[in-house]
Amino acid sequence: MTKHWKPLVALATIAWAALAATAPALAESLTLASPDGQITVTVSDDEGQATYAVAYRGETVIAPSKLGLLFSEHHGLERGLAIAGSTRDSSDTTWEQPWGERRLVRDRHNELAVTFAASRGPARRMVVRFRAFDTGIGFRYEIPEQPALEGDLAIVDELTQFAVGEDTAMWYTPSDEFNRYEYITRTGPAGKVANAHTPATFRKADGIHFAIHEAALVDYSAMSLGALRPGTFEARLRSWQGGPKVRTKAPFKSPWRTVQVAPDAVGLINSDIILNLNEPNKLGDVSWVEPGKYVGIWWAMHIKDRTWGRDGIHGATTEEAKRYIDFAAKNGFSGVLVEGWNIGWDGDWFNNGDQFNFTQAMPDFDIAEVGRYARSKGVRLIGHHETSANITNYENQLEAALDLMEKVGVRVVKTGYVADAGDAVRIDEKGIRHYEWHDSQFMVRHHLKVVQEAARRHIAIDAHEPVKDTGLRRTYPNWMTREGARGMEFNAWGSPPNPPSHEAMLAFTRMLAGPMDFTPGIFDLRPNERPPLRPVMPRGDPANRPQTTLAKQLALYVVLYSPLQMAADLPENYEARPDAFQFIKDVETDWEQSIALAGEVGEYVAFARQGRKSKNWFLGALTDEHPRDLTLPLDFLEKGRRYTAEIYRDGPDADWDTNPYDIVIEKKTVTGGETFAVHLASSGGVAVRFLPMAQ
């Protein structure tokens, strides 16, 4: 504080006290409507309590719900609040993504910023900024610099509530269990749910769908939903070990709390609200961030053909890496991931994260030579930094680790944070160990630090066991993809494996957050039935296998968006099925447009996507355990134009359990504007590429 500041503070205090004393006693209520008028937000200060409510076509989506913040050493912003002013704005712009599920994104919204002032205790104020889009709303807290909130601020509670209704159907994963975000999607009436990560998806009895999430999670802790009373959730912010929940200083802005709203399930996945609520690109020219497809020394470890360490058959050898590079070069893949390349993997790597050395390769892996060989073949090595969530150990080596990656030509690093939730190691200046959550403010800061350090070296990040996605890829386009849900690996060793409904759930839940490195494309659908290669490497339970047909594995490339897509299986398994493999070779990962065509949460979903470079259209559809017949309009194709459709669909006898390999691969002529009818087997799918025919 400067010498001249104190008197000013005193004056401001008097002014605010006067304002509070003259604040209108009557409750005020303000309304904001989406540009199409279908969604409304009502903000009120009834009985001194700041609240908001959301309605869709006049029907309640979120009943009046509280707003507010509590601090440990300062008066909170909770009761005794009155609306002291408001401003309005609206905007209709279109911005371009450097890569993404669509090139052009329209941001059309109306805005209402409401200032609430406290009428009891020292003068305090907060602005709650609301934005209403045609596909949902967002709001955030903006706490200006002010005398009563001076100095370090510790948020101990965010009071935001979401009154969703007791009987509203809900799809979610639990937020407070050991496996972070990696759970089979649970369903229930909202009134029976104790806690949930976001995105959490809901359906009201009248068919309106909505989803709660957050956008632009920067230097704050992640929000989950905790039941306050049946059908009303409160924003639960993840705490630092020993508290508080967020360490900050005024002025600050919270992440946006979002409520997407749509008349049907598909409406939810045709929304850009999360990206629109993030700041524009801060990295400038990001032409070095390149979407693509990759293979890697990866599934071999999960199915116990190879080991990460030297205690079995070490996978990451120079020779094996070159075999994958040759395969990648031959088949048009841009990257080769190699896991287990560095010192630290021998033994119990899950618990020995402090042993990881990120600049020293295993003796049988010549990283410089592998990097050189890859580049000579037009392929890039994809780096891997498994940390076992020993964050301090990683941060101590971060710059040198990324320098090495840059030196050997790596353009993407996959990071990993394998550890139970709440077990991320932070060692403080005194050398004391602390254990933090994967979605704490500490980890939110850590991930951004890695992304920014990587950007300085033109490296992109694919984080596994990450914090959830909140759309920061718009601001930092090198944060390309992440895991953050059960991926394919659970089908090798997860008990139980992912059920047939899993991907149809992900499309309407986890994927609302952003891209996922799901690692699709398993062709040997019973990997654990093969005899072990060595007695020390027993295979997993044969019941663990992808519970899908082969055609559904192909559909995943179109349905589950990621700018980096892995062809996860072993090269020899692709070589054994060149006909089906052709689709993986042809499919693209960067899109001009994406349109969700049809679907119901957890049941089925169909997407059409247009390749950004080729302008060719692709279609992917998949179903849960129920076979179904889909008739999809080909309205995305040029009307009346004829196309060759290269179709990969379930055969007549296909069934994920008894006959997963029955696939029909055929070419048909279709015309834009017609419909496309297809049968999906139990846990089946279809993948199509459309090529325009000469006119």
Q: What is the binding site for ligand NOJ (CB under 6 A)?
A: 298, 339, 386, 416, 418, 464, 483, 489
Name the token pair of 10. 């005193």
User: Is beta strand 104-118 parallel, antiparallel or unpaired with respect to 125-133?
Assistant: antiparallel
Mention every residue, 6+ apart, whose C-beta is less than 8 A from residue 58. Answer: none
Between residues 489 and 646, which has the closer beta carbon with respect to ligand NOJ? 489
- DSSP-assigned beta bridge partners for residue 301: none
- Name the minimum Å distance from CB 450 to ligand NOJ: 15
- Name the minimum Å distance from CB 572 to ligand NOJ: 19
Between residues 250 and 405, which has the closer beta carbon with respect to ligand NOJ? 405
- Name the minimum Å distance from CB 547 to ligand NOJ: 19
Between residues 9 and 418, which has the closer beta carbon with respect to ligand NOJ? 418
Name the token pair of 510. 């986890």
Mention every residue, 6+ apart, whose C-beta is less than 8 A from residue 465. Answer: 180, 389, 416, 417, 418, 419, 438, 483, 484
Q: Which of 66, 258, 238 is nearest to 163 (CA)?
A: 66
252 to each of 111, 146, 152, 641, how far by Cα in Å? 19, 11, 11, 54
Between residues 416 and 494, which has the closer beta carbon with respect to ligand NOJ? 416
Q: Any idea what DSSP says for residue 695?
A: -
Provide the 3-class DSSP secondary structure of residue 190. Answer: helix
* Cα-to-chain-centroid distance, residue 13: 43
- Name the minimum Å distance from CB 506 to ligand NOJ: 15
Between residues 489 and 592, which has the closer beta carbon with respect to ligand NOJ? 489
Q: Which residue out of 158, 489, 588, 592 is catalytically annotated? A: 489
- Name the minimum Å distance from CB 418 to ligand NOJ: 5
Between residues 265 and 463, which has the closer beta carbon with respect to ligand NOJ? 463
Between residues 298 and 648, which has the closer beta carbon with respect to ligand NOJ? 298
DSSP 411-438: -EEEEE--S-TT-EEEE-TTS-EEEE-T
Between residues 503 and 646, which has the closer beta carbon with respect to ligand NOJ? 503
- Name the minimum Å distance from CB 167 to ligand NOJ: 36
Cis amide leading into 532 (omega within 30) = no
**Is 489 one of the catalytic residues?**
yes
Q: Which of 93, 145, 180 is nearest to 420 (CA)?
A: 180
CA–CA gap between residue 518 and residue 563 (Å, rounded): 11
Could you give the dihedral angle defined by the CA atoms of residues 621, 625, 630 and 632, in that order, rounded to the nearest 10 degrees? Answer: -20
Name the token pair of 108. 């059309």
Name the token pair of 363. 């003796």
- Name the minimum Å distance from CB 216 to ligand NOJ: 25
Asked if 426 contacts 397 with a C-beta cutoff of 8 angstroms, the reply is no
Name the token pair of 580. 């089906």
- Name the minimum Å distance from CB 512 to ligand NOJ: 21
- Name the minimum Å distance from CB 298 to ligand NOJ: 6
- DSSP-assigned beta bridge partners for residue 622: 605, 685
Q: What is the 3-state secondary structure (H, E, C) of 347-376?
A: CCCCCCHHHCCCCCECCCCCHHHHHHHHHH
Between residues 125 and 486, which has the closer beta carbon with respect to ligand NOJ? 486
Asked if 96 contacts 74 with a C-beta cutoff of 8 angstroms, the reply is no
Between residues 288 and 493, which has the closer beta carbon with respect to ligand NOJ? 493
- Name the minimum Å distance from CB 425 to ligand NOJ: 16
Between residues 231 and 353, which has the closer beta carbon with respect to ligand NOJ? 353
The amino acid at 69:
L
Q: Which of 211, 202, 212 is nearest to 234 (CA)?
A: 212
CA–CA gap between residue 468 and residue 514 (Å, rounded): 9
Token pair 């849960």: residue: 624
Between residues 9 and 313, which has the closer beta carbon with respect to ligand NOJ? 313
Name the token pair of 344. 């630290």
- Name the minimum Å distance from CB 460 to ligand NOJ: 16
Provide the 3-class DSSP secondary structure of residue 196. Answer: strand
φ, ψ (nearest 5 deg) of residue 693: -90, 155
- Name the minimum Å distance from CB 416 to ligand NOJ: 4
CA–CA gap between residue 460 and residue 405 (Å, rounded): 11
Neighbouring CB atoms inside 10 A of 15's CB total 11
Terminal alpha carbon distance of the chain: 73
536 to each of 305, 307, 529, 543, 570, how far by Cα in Å? 11, 10, 16, 20, 21
CA–CA gap between residue 103 and residue 666 (Å, rounded): 30
H helical segments located in 46-154: none
- List, by residue number, the catalytic residues: 489
